[in-house]
Amino acid sequence: MKLNNKFLLIFITISVLPIVIITIFVYGRYTDLVNKQTMEVTNSIVENAVEATKVHIDTIDGMTESFQLYSNSLYNVLDDIKKYRVKGNYTVYDLWKSRNNMRFLCQHLLYSNDYVNGVFIFTPSGENIGYGWGNGIDIQNDYTPFEDAWYKETVEKKGQLYISDLNKKDFILNSENSISFSRALYDVYTKDFLGVLLIDCSSGILDISSSNTLPGDALLTIYKENGNILYTNIDSVKTNFINKRNKNNISVIKNTLENPYLTVVAAIDMNPIYDEFNYTKFLIIGIATSCALIFIIISFFLSKSLTKPITTLSEIMRNHKIHGSVTTDKYLNLHNEIGVLYNEYNNMVEENNLFIKEQYHNKLITLDSQMKSLEAQINSHFLYNTLESINSIAEIEEVESISIIALALGNMLRYSINTESELVMIQDELKNVNDYMSIQKIRFDNRFEIIYQIDESVYKLKVLKLILQPLVENALYHGLNRCSIAGKVILTAWVKNDILYFEIKDTGRGMNEKQLKEVQESLNKPILFTELGRREKQSIGLKNIHSRIELYYGIGYGLTVNSKENAGTTIMIKLPVLR
């Protein structure tokens, strides 16, 4: 990473990271506060709705209990209806008088309650004592409720309050949608069943809209145990409440009343509430983003101003062949570390140029002597092997083949001692290889075969002298084990992308992984001329050739060796094309 980028990253981290941390903390705390407040609002709506429902139920419950407990010196409701337990125990006058008393009691109790339509008592004898107060309602003549579901459920509750569904009552004249509350009446002392008290109320009896602090965004519903709705404000809620764009923000809360068993459900659209707080959230994020951008811009210019002198010097050093020493006085006259750095660089360039001039000629002389030394080692090594071959043949049999060997050897000696140039044409280098192979074929009685696969376009190219014959010799002596095993040596040459390749491949015994690794490591070792003579014998030829190629052509050119046990060895030479 560039120094400028490192400084920029450090400055941004130091300045922006605290802003990010503080923003996340503030945003999180504010979000928690918003969620807490919204939950308080929703819970408050539900609690208010439940309390309002309880108030309405308690009001009706109080009315029903007042009929059981109402008594004065002249009239007692329970005592009055005892006579109606059995048909025939009362007269028409008794019935008229009871209804009249009931009317007086209803007017007294229900005068201030607009939701009550009427109060009726259904006695076991089938008589109806009651009074229709609201909307001109009354009980149909000859109506007996004994087989109706509401009557049976009321009796089964044994004095507990029963609430009917919100619907029209068939047995009530001029009836509209209403809710009826009923309770079984019993004798306080004997516990005898005296009848059923029914209070019919309009649908607004359970209206809890006054407790709704979000009338346009909160849907309040009261359900019975059987799932029927007694109250809902869906008509007053926004028409698109059900199809909100983000239904995840619809909060649904339920609360159940134990007696009577009613469920209050509040479905609250939280989007308007969240919208009120989102402005502050966006403001927090906007301020944090603006501060972060400002600090990033400041960090950019600050890091650039601090690293520009170093960057300039690095560019000069990277292109020192073009720029040389520093010529500008902008940084040379600075009395700080930057000025010292620039002045020391100038001194270093001047000293380096002087050193190069002094060492250049010495280096050329040294390289030339090293090249000749390597050639001498190769020539002496080859001469020893060749003389050994001639001597062996001369001792075994006296044939004309000796003259062939001598002719070939003479050609090779003349070729090796020729010092006109280090470079020769490939066709001459191949002729030297062919002379060597002529000698070896006689020596080893043609127990091997050499195959040339040479592209004609490479014959006129030039290469470093004496680099192919030692490798072919290495293939015979090490690969084919001095031709103790029959095999082939294949010499291939081609050009690709201005690179000249030679491949010397044998079909011999090859090398195991350990031997191959030792050879490859010897090729990769740096060139130490004082130690060449002390290396292992089997690696002298390969290492010498590789060293000569690197010295002459440069790093990146030379030999690569690949081998597999019992599958032969392949040596690749990589050279630049010299035309």
How buried is 340 (Cβ within 10 angstroms: 0-12 exposed, 13-18 middle, 19+ buried)?
exposed
Give me the pLDDT at residue 153, please: 92
Query: For 179-186, what is the mean pLDDT?
Result: 91
The residue among 471, 473, 497, 482 whose CA lies nearest residue 570 is: 471
Question: Which residues have a Cβ under 8 Å from the Cβ of 296 and sit 6 or more positions away?
Answer: 12, 15, 16
Query: For 402-415, what is the mean pLDDT?
Result: 73
Rg (CA), the chain: 58
Give me the pLDDT at residue 312, please: 73
Question: Are 451 and 491 a contacting pair, CB within 8 Å?
Answer: yes
Confidence of residue 394 (pLDDT cuts 50, 70, 90): low
Would you tell me the crossing angle of helices 337-396 and 271-318 to the nearest 10 degrees? 60
> Is the pLDDT reported for residue 243 higher than 70?
no
Query: For 473-485, what is the mean pLDDT?
Result: 80
Q: Quick check: helix, strand or coil at residue 559?
A: strand
Reported as a single tens digit per residue, the pLDDT across 272-302 is: 777 777 777 788 888 888 888 888 888 888 8
Amino acid 534 reads R
> Is the pLDDT reported for residue 322 higher than 70?
no
Q: Quick check: helix, strand or coil at residue 518?
A: helix
Tokens of 409: 């050897």
Query: For 17-46, what is the mean pLDDT?
Result: 84
Output the 3-class SS for 460-506: CCEEECCCCHHHHHHHHHHHCCCCCCCEEEEEEEEEECCEEEEEEEE
Class of domain 367-576: alpha beta
Tokens of 55: 């108030």
Reported as a single tens digit per residue, the pLDDT across 138-177 is: 888 888 899 999 999 999 988 888 999 998 988 888 888 8
> Is the pLDDT reported for residue 540 higher than 60?
no
> Is the pLDDT reported for residue 451 higher than 90?
yes
Query: For 445-453, what is the mean pLDDT?
Result: 88
Query: For 346-374, what is the mean pLDDT?
Result: 64
Give me the pLDDT at residue 137, please: 83
> Is the pLDDT reported for residue 380 higher than 60?
no
Reported as a single tens digit per residue, the pLDDT across 324-335 is: 666 556 677 777
Torsion angle of C-alpha atoms 227, 228, 231, 235, degrees rounded to 10 = 100
HSE-up of 336 (CA within 13 Å, CB side)?
Answer: 7
Tokens of 304: 């650039």
- Backbone φ and ψ for 397, nearest 5 degrees, come out as -150, 140
> Is the pLDDT reported for residue 66 higher than 80?
no
Extents of the domains making up the chain? 70-206, 367-576
> Is the pLDDT reported for residue 338 higher than 60?
yes
Q: Quick check: helix, strand or coil at residue 219?
A: strand
Least confident span in 104-113, 323-332, 537-546? 323-332
- Residue 181, H or E segment: strand 178-186
> Is the pLDDT reported for residue 490 higher than 90?
yes
Between 130 and 374, where is the model more confident? Answer: 130
Give me the pLDDT at residue 544, please: 84
Give me the pLDDT at residue 365, please: 47
Between 504 and 540, where is the model more confident? Answer: 504
Give me the pLDDT at residue 181, please: 92
Between 38 and 194, where is the model more confident? Answer: 194
> Is the pLDDT reported for residue 360 higher than 70?
no
> Is the pLDDT reported for residue 557 higher than 90?
yes
**Distance between CA 563 and CA 505 in Å, rounded?**
10
Give me the pLDDT at residue 419, please: 58
Output the 3-class SS for 246-279: CHHHEEEEEEEECCCCEEEEEEEECHHHHHHHHH
- Which CATH number applies to 70-206? 3.30.450.20
> Is the pLDDT reported for residue 239 higher than 80?
no
The residue among 120, 92, 117 whose CA lies nearest residue 177 is: 117
Between 315 and 288, where is the model more confident? Answer: 288
Least confident span in 98-102, 186-190, 315-319, 559-563? 315-319
Give me the pLDDT at residue 184, please: 92
Q: In whole numbers, what is the pLDDT of the chain averaged over residues? A: 79
Give me the pLDDT at residue 551, please: 84
Query: For 89-109, what is the mean pLDDT?
Result: 82
Q: Quick check: helix, strand or coil at residue 571?
A: strand
Reported as a single tens digit per residue, the pLDDT across 217-234 is: 788 888 888 888 888 887
The residue among 417, 505, 430, 516 whose CA lies nearest residue 467 is: 430
